[in-house]
Amino acid sequence: MTAPHASDPARSRGRLHPEAISTFRSAFQRDRDRIIHSSAFRRLKHKTQVFVEHEGDYYRTRLTHSIEVAQVARTIAGVLGLDTDLTEAVALAHDLGHTPFGHTGEEALAERMAPFGGFDHNAQALRIVTTLERHYAEFDGLNLSWETLEGLAKHNGPVAPPLPHALAEYSALHDLELDTHSGAEAQVAAVADDIAYNHHDLQDGLRAGLFTDAEVAALPIVAPAYADVDARYPGLDAGRRRHEALRRVFGAMVEDVIATARARSATAAPDSAAAVRAHPAPIVDFSSGLRGELQQLRDFLFQRMYRAPKVVEERARATRVVHDLFDRFMARPETMPEGWRDDGADEAARARLVGDYVAGMTDRFALQAHATAATR
């Protein structure tokens, strides 16, 4: 059953550049398909989450993460009666603006971009799908529907001033109502992102040997899962035991979100997507109890994974690479490929071009570009 507050593609607020309606795809299906076929989406294959690209084939990349988020988001949206295509579109696009080297690369680029309006990966994702993808004859970007762009810009909640340059620039043309919450579909995509990275960061950290199963099993959000597996399957080998436990943690997070969203929907009784946006708090979220347990998990991962000596060493290297590349291209913009240069640009405009170029790099390409520059 479709929820009364679900987004309706037949009532979409439309695209910045009007297009003929497809005979067999909804507006949100077309958005999803354009995202999948974009150059930026393909580049996610070689952009990492935590571990740098060469660390191993089993660790997550931004592409595998985005696919996992989309799978979780589509499941939750279907249960809640929301538009699954819009949910999936936002989920697949939510990381398009990430730099090479994960959040480390973003922090490094944001430091260099601070005098020029800053850098934010959500704003950069919007810039990519509205400006930087240049394949269509009639417009720059992918010309996505308002609902997908709105969800991409503020799936994590309202965006307060000062706005990142990319958000301010586009919203002046096509008001995304940045001071309100997003629709329910984008809220689902945001919480699915949390579910996916909490689950796979545990898996990747265990695989990397940064902590043990016993340490993970002591966490409140994980302990019941290991206890249930041990009771059901005594003597199970370590690999299967870990997988069975973590899939239960995954399921518990999904079930908590569904139950919480249903309860909040019943209380708030939103009768439209607009009512969801106007509501003072998200409709789709974790319960307060699980939020507390997730915070303990994040604290654990921060200390044992994100600040592990092996990861810190790579973070320092990644920061140096991004800083060096930015500084080089600012000083010598002619070393960037044609199409990324503007000889008449002032310093701020040149910085945005350099920021766009560096942010679009994969881990592998950034390392190669840095090594090539060092030999010149």
With cut-offs at 50, 70 and 90, classify the pLDDT of residue 58.
very low
Confidence of residue 1 (pLDDT cuts 50, 70, 90): confident
| Measured distance CA(290)–CA(196) in Å, rounded | 15
Kindly report the pTM of this predicted structure.
Answer: 0.95
What's the mean pLDDT in 185-194? 98
pLDDT at 172 over 80: yes
Structure tokens of 293? Answer: 């347990």
Strand partners, 15: 145
Average pLDDT, whole number, for the chain?
A: 94
Average pLDDT over residues 57-85: 91
pLDDT in tens, 3-43: 999 999 999 999 999 999 999 999 999 999 999 999 999 99
Task: Tally Cβ neighbours within 10 Å of residue 103.
Answer: 16
Give residue-wise pLDDT tens across range 346-375.
999 999 999 999 999 999 999 999 998 766
Q: How far apart are the first and last CA of the chain?
A: 63
pLDDT of residue 373: 76
pLDDT, tens digit (0-9, with 9 covering 90-100), for 113-161: 999 989 999 999 999 999 999 999 999 999 999 999 999 999 999 999 9
d(CA 330, CA 109): 13
User: Taking 90 as the threshold, does the pLDDT of residue 193 lie above it?
Assistant: yes
Report, as an integer, the average pLDDT of 61-83.
96
Sign of the C-alpha dihedral computed for residues 272, 273, 279 and 284 taken in this order: positive
Rounded-to-integer distance, Cα 360 and Cα 354, Å: 10
For 48-113, give the DSSP string.
Answer: BSSS-GGG-TTS-BHHHHHHHHHHHHHHHHHHHT--HHHHHHHHHHTTTTPPTTHHHHHHHHHHHH
Q: Express as a percent the part of the chain with pLDDT over 70.
A: 96
Measured CA distances, 36 to 32, 219, 364 (Å): 6, 37, 21
Stated length of the chain: 376
Note the pLDDT of residue 53.
44
Domains of the chain, earliest start first:
9-184 (1.10.3210.10), 190-307 (1.10.3410), 311-374 (no CATH)
**SS3 of 159, please?**
coil
Q: What is the mean pLDDT of residues 187-196?
A: 98
Arithmetic mean of pLDDT, 280-289: 97
Residue of 58 and 305 predicted with greater confidence: 305
Quick: pLDDT tens for 230-268: 999 999 999 999 999 999 999 999 999 999 999 999 999
User: Residue 26, Cβ neighbours under 10 Å: how many?
Assistant: 18
